[in-house]
Amino acid sequence: MPRKFFRRVIPSVDKVREVRALSVFGERLFHPALWHLNRRSAAGGVAVGLFCGLIPGPLQMLGAGIVCVALRVNLPVSLVTTLYTNPLTIVPLYLLGYEIGSFVLGASTGSTVTSPPDFDWSRPFASAEEFGHWMVGLGPPLALGVFLLACVLSLLGYLIVRGLWSVHLRRAWRARRHRPLRVR
């Protein structure tokens, strides 16, 4: 089931090869390990996507792609997984990262935290810049906390995918064992 689900959702290598803009990356992007779907590559892709999803700004997918090429894990799974962060989820995740960083560094969190700026959809670039200044103002607790949160999320994602895939395989083997033989 996991393989069938991913194959239905993920584009084929041949469809991606047709995109002319991706020819800049050469054949490295089309290495079979980046597109092969098995327990290891899918779990690795989820882990990379969860880690790179916390990279600030629009560099999440680029970072995930570079790490996937380096580690030879499933590229499409990784790119899709980075989408867990969006304008609605990034602020709570970064606040959680700040709390984690403050806890680890032993800093007090109550007095120095300013609320994040409101996002004005009529001026998206100015709002993104205000958000960036807010993040920089939070400093070392935010940087350490987001890194630790990314590590924990990627480890949990890897273990969950490996575990669920194993459970699925055991159930399939058990069902196959109890299935009556067909006589031809």
pLDDT digits (tens, 9 = 90+) for 139-179: 888 889 999 999 999 999 999 999 999 998 899 888 888 87
Per-residue buried b or exposed e for 138-147, using 16+ beta carbons within 10 Å of the residue's own CB = beebbebbbe
pLDDT score, position 127? 77
Q: How confident is the prediction for the chain on average, in pLDDT?
A: 83
More confident residue, 121 or 61: 61
Cα torsion angle, 94, 96, 100, 102, sign: positive
pLDDT at 53 over 90: yes
pLDDT score, position 138? 73
Q: Using one digit for the tens of pLDDT, what is the confidence trace for 56-83? A: 878 899 899 899 999 999 999 999 999 9
- The ranges assigned to domains in the chain are 2-178
pLDDT score, position 83? 92
pLDDT score, position 157? 96
pTM of the full predicted structure? 0.75
